[in-house]
Amino acid sequence: MSPNHSGYTSRDGFQWTKETGLRDGVPSLGVIRPSSNLTSTTRHDLFDVVVIGGGYAGLTAIRDLTLAGHKVLLIEARDRIGGRSWSANIQGYPYEMGGTWIHWNQPFIWRELFRYGLSSKIDISPVKEGGLSKCLVNMEGTRTVKMSHDKEDDISESAIKKFVNVDGRLARTVIPFPHDPHYNREAVAHYDKMSLADRFVEVADEMTPLERSMFEAFLSITCGSRTWEEASFFEFLRWWALMNYNYTDFIALGLTYKFKCGQSGFARHFFDEALETGNLTYVFDSPVSNVVDREGTVKVTTTARGNCGVSATFQGYRVICTVPLNVLYKVDFSPPLPQPKMEASKLGHVNQVTKVHAEVANPELRSVGAFSWPTGKLTYGFGDGTTPAGNTHMVAFGGAHPGVHLQPEENMDETLAAWRDLLAGHKVDIRRVVFHNWHKDEFALGAWEWLRPNMSTKYLDPLRARHGNVLFGSADWAMGWRGFIDGAIEDGGRVAKEASTEIRMARRGNATTSDGKFVVSERSRI
Amino acid sequence: MSPNHSGYTSRDGFQWTKETGLRDGVPSLGVIRPSSNLTSTTRHDLFDVVVIGGGYAGLTAIRDLTLAGHKVLLIEARDRIGGRSWSANIQGYPYEMGGTWIHWNQPFIWRELFRYGLSSKIDISPVKEGGLSKCLVNMEGTRTVKMSHDKEDDISESAIKKFVNVDGRLARTVIPFPHDPHYNREAVAHYDKMSLADRFVEVADEMTPLERSMFEAFLSITCGSRTWEEASFFEFLRWWALMNYNYTDFIALGLTYKFKCGQSGFARHFFDEALETGNLTYVFDSPVSNVVDREGTVKVTTTARGNCGVSATFQGYRVICTVPLNVLYKVDFSPPLPQPKMEASKLGHVNQVTKVHAEVANPELRSVGAFSWPTGKLTYGFGDGTTPAGNTHMVAFGGAHPGVHLQPEENMDETLAAWRDLLAGHKVDIRRVVFHNWHKDEFALGAWEWLRPNMSTKYLDPLRARHGNVLFGSADWAMGWRGFIDGAIEDGGRVAKEASTEIRMARRGNATTSDGKFVVSERSRI
């Protein structure tokens, strides 16, 4: 595939232009053709590992396992890799449909990016120079404040510090080790009990109306919850600690740097490297309906989706399940999943944020940021790039609070109006709109993970635990950048190493793993 | 080996106690016994890859290559792994003889640390609470200033910002991407031309005497150069960018977190994992004298060191050479190394810093930091831990400027006096001293890399380049954390991937690598 190839068209995502109106599906480098490399022989193979899900956790697992010489089957429900992080690649230009931003302080993603020679292939999203160079704040839907980006930073920094500073040390004592988030168990339990609403009560008298309004707008699309009550305050402290406990890095790490090739261009490196080993079998368009772990092997049954999928039962010595938290309970496991795993999945995380891209024929908007709270259906947005046509690419997020939760494909007039509202009357010429509705996505049922109060404390360990020969890897229960791409790579690598070690040791007749925790079934034929 | 095992005794390093006096060698988890697993058969094998050097670059390479199924020979000149990063493990307690500190913002090391389950096995070096909690500054050898750690931080932050702020943006415009250090080529060339002395001229009028004194002390042991003239200013900007462009993170990333098991405990994970694959042959105590690349295979000849080493010629399809910059020119290559590589190696980097540990029966010193400049032979030190005996472990560094360059083993009275001088008359009861003299170490000839003016600009690319079937991997020419453990893992991984890909492709009859740059010799028997 040439560098300018935009890939095949995925069923996922939506695109609107004035000329075509709204259409299902967008081109992406993440679409794999042919959709399977199964043969009549491999269909009945006993694989070393069956990996369910081709997001970054699954991609890391298949890459690590195939490089180590294991025979691997990847099963994916969609027609593309990447899970909740993928790009529409339109005319060679990426629109990030989900997970987007990366940084050299994110260890797992940076190691991979470097390994694939991409460390200088990076673009910058928001810029402060050129064009209007303003921040527009639409307050209460009634009046717009225009300010410089420096003032925007001052207000935002002041607000965020007030929100996190629970210990006079900007939360450093609560989470001294961001990659060991529960290190200070007592403090964590306290702040995990608290909702965002509880924290707002504590700082209500300290914030100015402008600080409060801008911070609420930002926070609403950070957690994507329907109410402040349903989202844990600890999750915000955890983000803050990961972002180096300062506002400058919160912006630098959270929403600044991205791939020139788009996330799907990056994800292809993992898939292609695994495929190149000759050890990867894969099947797309084939959601998993059930997983049966019996007598040392695991059987995984799929149901075809569309014409390309496969309805079949596959088997492996180990299964790595990367199905996201909010849909895990829908897969039928035998023996059934332990109660805490099921409970956590059914409760689910709360993030139902909306993300919408617009290509606008307004070069002056490249350096604009905008807030609209609490009435804006797009709550926070900014210039994200310049398209090959020379137009400005803007990205905006919408919160899920009642009355504002935008479903962009349901009414394009409303979606276009939300853009105009966010840009506070600035005359905008919208040429294209691109998005993925994660709220309605049956394989995700939400965006990046943001847990409810008490869930981190109660469910992190059970979610990371294996279940017999089934291992669970996902950004949703990573230790470090939980809820981020980095966390997916971390956790996919963790379970791949565990499975690989077991299989290697079993083949040597060694009945226990290195940590002595797991005994390979005597009936295993590994 | 049990967790409390302190390992076998290495020939490297020195230890002094009142009772024993000065002795050569210290126990370390990094010493490998038996010193070779060669057999009469494997001695004549044609290996896939011969890796020269068992520091982190070499360890990463052998681990990655053996996991991918390649047959690998590791040749190491010393009796231990770790290269310039290793710990004396004394009574179960680590004294770091070289590279020490780690952080979750160092991507390559953090990925490995997590992979080996060590993310919660971390200790903290300097602490501010408990005991004296003071910073002692010995100025001009004539008077001592005592100050709080808060004041120390204020002065140090003010000084370092004045030193780096060449663009009003704290050098962000010079190095916007710390892992792509030459991104802004024009600015980099300008600041790489400058020496530290040149920069001091520019800021001379801006620093107070106290700022200048404390910063010079700190800088002298950061670069380890004999003069300010011989060290590049760009190298300091590069460190600053890697440390997130702020003083708080400079301390957090540069000298705060370390392994409970010591670097040698960490390094063992790499070695043990490689060994466990069954694909690793190794030989210690066997310095390489020459490397001959001819007709598609490379022959590597060693000279035995002591009784355990091996004098022999080994061969592989590829060689990964991790010999450090300052000694690379001593290995005889045929065909000879290209001129720029030889030139860079002969020029060498300038870091000849001294590092000395002391175990002191003074609990109050745990929270003390100290500077002594310009007369102190130990220039900067601080409490580094608490030993099993309940004593304070302190670490100090000495600069290499004329008149202060301490060779600790030459005169122990002088070394003990240097400690007393650094602690500015505080009554100290020294029970043990531990160190490695990197300046005289024939396999390193220096500590971590700090280049001369113009060397980064001129030699980074040539140093990274391959030479026929020989690939070069080292922290000394890494892209990101160059001169750090993280850089060693980065660069060892890079060349391992390159070698692995070529061998795999050659075995499939594919004559070029994925980037089309290298044609496998037709005479290769891979």
A178 at B interface, C-beta within 8 A = yes
pLDDT digits (tens, 9 = 90+) for B464-515: 999 999 999 999 999 999 999 999 999 999 999 999 999 999 988 755 444 4
Question: What is the rounded average pLDDT of the residues A407-428?
Answer: 95
Q: Is the model's pLDDT at B526 over the cut of 70? A: no
A34: preceding bond cis by omega (within 30 degrees): yes
B497-510 residues labelled b (16+ CB within 10 A) or e (exposed): bbbbbbbbbbeeee
A69 at B interface, C-beta within 8 A = yes
A184 at B interface, C-beta within 8 A = no
Q: Give the per-residue pLDDT at A144.
A: 87
Structure tokens at B7: 């390992």
Q: What percent of chain A has pLDDT over 70?
A: 96
- By Cβ distance, the residue of B106, B119, B479 closest to A180 is B119
Q: How confident is the model at residue A142 (pLDDT cuts 50, 70, 90)?
A: confident
Whether residue B107 and residue A119 make contact (CB cut-off 8 A), yes or no, is no
Which chain B residue lies closest to A495 (C-alpha atoms)? B115
How far is A173 from A153, CA to CA, in rounded Å?
A: 25
Which chain B residue lies closest to A110 (C-alpha atoms)? B107
The distance of B494 to chain A (nearest Cα, Å) reads 7
Confirm if B247 and B159 have CB atoms less than 8 A apart.
Answer: no
Whether residue A110 and residue B179 make contact (CB cut-off 8 A), yes or no, is yes
The distance of A62 to chain B (nearest Cα, Å) reads 13
A179 at B interface, C-beta within 8 A = yes
β partners of residue A470: A319, A467
Output DSSP code: residue A308.
Answer: T
Closest CA to A231 of A352, A356, A330: A352
Contacts of B246 (CB under 8 A, 6+ apart): A246, B170
Query: Chain A partners of B479 at a C-beta cutoff of 8 Å?
Result: 114, 119
Q: Is A357 helix (H, G, I), strand (E, B) or coil?
A: strand
Whether residue B120 and residue A69 make contact (CB cut-off 8 A), yes or no, is no
Query: Chain B partners of A277 at a C-beta cutoff of 8 Å?
Result: 504
The values of phi and psi at residue A33, to 5°, are: -130, 140
Whether residue B490 and residue A183 make contact (CB cut-off 8 A), yes or no, is no
How far is A448 from A99, CA to CA, in rounded Å?
A: 8
Residue numbers in the known binding site of B for FAD are 76-77, 288
Report the 10 Å Cβ neighbour count for B386: 17
A1 at B interface, C-beta within 8 A = no
How far is B325 from B346, CA to CA, in rounded Å?
A: 8
Best A48, A67, A481 residue to mutate vs chain B (most B CBs within 10 Å)? A67
Closest CA to B509 of B491, B496, B490, B522: B522
Q: Give the per-residue pLDDT at A508.
A: 83
B479 at A interface, C-beta within 8 A = yes
A504 at B interface, C-beta within 8 A = yes
How far is A404 from A352, CA to CA, in rounded Å?
A: 12
Structure tokens at B497: 């991937």
Strand intervals (E) in A6-156: 8-17, 21-28, 46-52, 72-75, 87-90, 93-96, 122-124, 135-139, 143-147
pLDDT digits (tens, 9 = 90+) for B83-123: 999 999 999 999 999 999 999 999 999 999 999 999 999 99
Give A340-344 contacts, CB < 8 A, sequence gap 24+.
Answer: A340/A458, A340/A459, A340/A462, A340/A463, A341/A459, A341/A462, A341/A463, A341/A465, A341/A467, A341/A472, A343/A459, A344/A455, A344/A458, A344/A459, A344/A462, A344/A463
Whether residue B111 and residue A111 make contact (CB cut-off 8 A), yes or no, is yes
B504 at A interface, C-beta within 8 A = yes
The distance of B261 to chain A (nearest Cα, Å) reads 17
Structure tokens at B278: 């069954």
Output DSSP code: residue B29.
Answer: T
Angle between helices A196-203 and A149-164 (to 10 degrees): 100
Q: What is the dihedral of CA B406, B410, B415, B416, to 10 degrees?
A: 180
- Residue B83 vs residues A324, B31, B288, B329, B475: alpha-carbon distances, Å: 42, 11, 15, 17, 11
The CA-CA-CA angle for residues B420, B426, B427, to 5°, reads 85
Complex ipTM? 0.94
Q: Is B224 helix (H, G, I), strand (E, B) or coil?
A: coil
Confirm if B243 and B161 have CB atoms less than 8 A apart.
Answer: no
Question: What is the rounded average pLDDT of the residues A363-383?
Answer: 96
How far is B167 from A465, CA to CA, in rounded Å?
A: 50
How far is B240 from B199, CA to CA, in rounded Å?
A: 15
Angle between helices B233-242 and B149-164 (to 10 degrees): 120
A-B contacts at Cβ under 8 angstroms: 87
Q: Is the model's pLDDT at A518 over the cut of 50? A: no
Q: How confident is the model at residue A1 (pLDDT cuts 50, 70, 90)?
A: very low
Q: Is the model's pLDDT at A464 over the cut of 90? A: yes
pLDDT digits (tens, 9 = 90+) for B25-70: 999 999 999 999 999 888 889 999 999 999 999 999 999 999 999 9
Q: Is the model's pLDDT at A251 over the cut of 50? A: yes
B332 at A interface, C-beta within 8 A = no
- By Cβ distance, the residue of A120, A277, A490 closest to B114 is A490
Best B67, B248, B513 residue to mutate vs chain A (most A CBs within 10 Å)? B67
Whether residue A107 and residue B114 make contact (CB cut-off 8 A), yes or no, is yes
- By Cβ distance, the residue of B68, B276, B493 closest to A67 is B68
Which chain A residue lies closest to B481 (C-alpha atoms)? A104
Confirm if B144 and B422 have CB atoms less than 8 A apart.
Answer: no
Q: Is the model's pLDDT at A35 over the cut of 80? A: yes
Q: Is A470 one of the annotated binding-site residues?
A: no
How far is A481 from A490, CA to CA, in rounded Å?
A: 8
- By Cβ distance, the residue of A111, A480, A497 closest to B104 is A480
What amino acid occupies position B302?
T
Residue B466 class from Cβ within 10 Å (0-12 exposed, 13-18 middle, 19+ buried)?
A: middle
B153 at A interface, C-beta within 8 A = no
How far is A183 from A185, CA to CA, in rounded Å?
A: 6
Q: How confident is the model at residue A319 (pLDDT cuts 50, 70, 90)?
A: very high
Best B244, B484, B510 residue to mutate vs chain A (most A CBs within 10 Å)? B244
Q: What percent of chain B has pLDDT over 90?
A: 91
Whether residue A180 and residue B107 make contact (CB cut-off 8 A), yes or no, is no
How far is B159 from B214, CA to CA, in rounded Å?
A: 8
Q: Give the per-residue pLDDT at B172.
A: 97
Query: Chain B partners of A246 at a C-beta cutoff of 8 Å?
Result: 246
Report the 10 Å Cβ neighbour count for B387: 19
